Amino acid sequence: MGKPTGFKEFNRQSEPYRDAMVRLLDFKEIYTDHKEELLATQGARCMDCGVPFCQSDEGCPVYNLIPEWNDLVYHKRWKEALDRLHKTNNFPEFTGRVCPAPCEGACVLGIHEPAVTIKNIECAIADKGFDEGWIVADPPYFRTGKKVAIAGSGPAGLAAAAQLNHAGHEVTVYERDDRVGGLLMYGIPNMKLEKAVVDRRVDLLREEGINFIVNADVGGSGENGIPVEALLNDFDALLLATGATTPRDLQIEDREGDGVHFAMEFLLKNTKSLLDSNLEDGNYINARNRNVIVIGGGDTGTDCIGTSLRHGCKSLVNFEIMPRPPADRDANNPWPTWPVIFRVEYGHEEAAARDGKDPRVYSISGKEFVRDEDGKLLGINTTAVDENFKEIPGTIEFWEADLIFLSMGFLGPEHYVSEALDLELDQRSNYKAEYGDFKTSHPQVFAAGDCRRGQSLVVRAIDEGRLVADEINKFLES
């Protein structure tokens, strides 16, 4: 630790977002420029805590060496901090932007004081590495002659590709969309992760020798379909990193019809149109002057809020079936577990700045969509629910809406790939593969990321991508 008394001397000070009313005018990243002196001071708050829970099972899923690079930043040894960060994390420029920072929830200082600003420091280290030209392509010195195919170019697929390529194997990544990145490209909007940041890393991976093929739907039956059998014949191993892309639906009366969309349809089309034409082609779901309801919280719900506000929606409401979380940890939510507390994310802040109130309504459940005789969406009837999600009699209420976005999580992967391979599934319909060896029921096929574990974090996908690469490497050497 750089300053033994730093945690006593300095208060937590996070890097601020851009002003809410200003950032609503564009899709640029919400973050402000890094201030190195501030970050050095924040690094000094890292304690000599004996057991750094920030990098434990309850903290960082990739076991980042957080106290080490906090200390190095305090001493302004940024390049060494970057070297330590890359020891465990292939893509800190992604996690430093979009990770909810379970490391901060497990920070020992966080027992009695606000946690160290770990996420800010991580992002700054990665950004400085690119700015200074320290992060460059590092192709392998030799090739093994072994070939690996990866279906899916999200964080798990990219992490596995990077590791396998460094081991000398020839890696080809297949992506069914028109751009590489999976969730990073089309699942997370620009204001949280500008796509130039994704492209920058993908370009480095290309320079290192990884092959990327877009508009290539592994197992698909359309014109872009890639037969799984061909991959098994042409490659020594196949990794499925297809994500959990089957959304949870809200099957209530009058569900079918215009005006009700899954969140990912909304977000994907918006980002694609933004990248293709700066939204000038009109190939997206436009919330401008519409009354919008977002059903479901979490990051995806917040992203729907932020995107609708940038379109210029007329009104905005966010339904959450859960009760409002407490301001501080409950007794059944002790440190170092993730603190389930009330948070104001960027979209909530923006809605409050524009409309004067937080958009969220808690303990509420949709009962039926309301349409006119022509099927046009008019709104939704809801009911209040108790702590067991049971309907409270006499609480039915109508909410006007022109657009309703369903953001209630994901049920697992789509199954046309697993059906083609006759893969065994787990009880939650994910590809069955044990964490640690990642082997599916097919001897040549592995699975990692959300398609294996279910919907989770980018950082957990990176962890699984790194670990499955080790297992595939062992398999190829056997």
* pLDDT higher than 90, residue 424: yes
User: Does one domain contain both 269 and 329?
Assistant: yes
User: Does one domain contain both 106 and 156?
Assistant: no
User: Does one domain contain both 254 and 362?
Assistant: yes
pLDDT digits (tens, 9 = 90+) for 360-392: 999 999 999 999 999 999 999 999 999 999 999
CA–CA distance, 459 with 157 (Å, rounded to integer): 12
User: Does one domain contain both 311 and 401?
Assistant: yes
40-42-48 Cα angle (round to 5): 100
User: What pLDDT was estimated at residue 478?
Assistant: 87
User: Does one domain contain both 290 and 402?
Assistant: yes
CATH number, domain with residue 172: 3.50.50.60
User: Does one domain contain both 91 and 220?
Assistant: no
CA–CA distance, 301 with 4 (Å, rounded to integer): 41
CA–CA distance, 75 with 184 (Å, rounded to integer): 32
φ, ψ of residue 400 in degrees (nearest 5): -70, 140
User: What pLDDT was estimated at residue 50?
Assistant: 87
Going by the DSSP 8-state scheme, the letter that residue 397 receives in this structure is E
Overall number of domains in the chain: 3
**Collapsed DSSP state (helix, strand, coil) of residue 73:** helix
φ, ψ of residue 68 in degrees (nearest 5): -65, -50
pLDDT-derived band at 3 (thresholds 50, 70, 90) equals: confident
Residue 140 lies in a domain: no
Which residues span the domain enclosing 51? 6-131
Q: Which of 325, 329, 394, 335 is nearest to 363 (CA)?
A: 325
- Strand-pairing partners, residue 365, are 383
User: Does one domain contain both 161 and 119?
Assistant: no
User: Does one domain contain both 173 and 236?
Assistant: yes
What angle, rounded to 10 degrees, do the helices at 36-43 and 66-74 form? 130
User: Does one domain contain both 312 and 452?
Assistant: no
Residue 278 lies in a domain: yes
Say how many C-beta atoms besides its own lie within 10 A of residue 278's C-beta.
9
User: What pLDDT was estimated at residue 106?
Assistant: 97
**Collapsed DSSP state (helix, strand, coil) of residue 250:** coil
Say how many C-beta atoms besides its own lie within 10 A of residue 434's C-beta.
11
Residue 396 lies in a domain: yes
Residue 137 lies in a domain: no
User: Does one domain contain both 48 and 116?
Assistant: yes
Q: Which of 44, 47, 13, 19 is nearest to 31 (CA)?
A: 19
User: Does one domain contain both 310 and 397?
Assistant: yes
* pLDDT higher than 70, residue 1: no
Chain centroid to CA 242: 14
Residue given tokens 């304690």 in the structure block: 47
- Strand-pairing partners, residue 439, are 446
201-202-206 Cα angle (round to 5): 120
CA–CA distance, 89 with 64 (Å, rounded to integer): 7
Largest CA distance in the chain: 71
The set of long-range contacts for 265-274, using a CB threshold of 8 Å and a minimum separation of 24, is 266/304, 266/307, 266/405, 267/186, 267/187, 267/189, 267/300, 267/303, 267/304, 267/307, 268/186, 268/187, 270/189, 270/307, 271/185, 271/186, 271/189, 271/190, 271/195, 272/178, 272/186, 274/27, 274/190
Residue given tokens 């994500």 in the structure block: 243
Residue that is last in its domain, among 387, 408, 429: 408
Residue 139 lies in a domain: no
Residue given tokens 């700015």 in the structure block: 131
E strand map for 86-235: 147-151, 170-174, 211-213, 217-218, 225-226
The predicted model gives 403-422 an average pLDDT of 96
> Is residue 59 within 8 Å of residue 336, measured between CB atoms?
yes
User: Does one domain contain both 399 and 424?
Assistant: no
The predicted model gives 276-294 an average pLDDT of 98
Residue 100 lies in a domain: yes
CA–CA distance, 207 with 140 (Å, rounded to integer): 11
pLDDT digits (tens, 9 = 90+) for 62-79: 999 999 999 999 999 999
Assigned token pair, 36: 């190195």
Q: What is the CA radius of gyration of the chain?
A: 23
In this structure, are strands 397-400 and 377-384 parallel, antiparallel, or unpaired?
A: antiparallel
Contacts of 76 (CB under 8 A, 6+ apart): 36, 40
CATH number, domain with residue 48: 1.10.1060.10
Assigned token pair, 348: 């909530």
* pLDDT higher than 80, residue 45: yes
Residue 141 lies in a domain: no
* pLDDT higher than 70, residue 319: yes
CA–CA distance, 161 with 155 (Å, rounded to integer): 10
Average pLDDT, the chain: 97
Preceding amide of 114 cis, omega within 30:
no
Residue 199 lies in a domain: yes
More confident residue, 47 or 131: 131
pTM over 0.85: yes
Given CA atoms 75, 80, 83, 88 in this order, what sign does their dihedral have? negative
Please name the residue ranges forming H helices in 75-117.
78-86, 92-98, 102-105
* pLDDT higher than 90, residue 4: no
What are the C-alpha distances in Å from 296 to residues 132, 142, 172?
41, 49, 36
pLDDT-derived band at 48 (thresholds 50, 70, 90) equals: confident
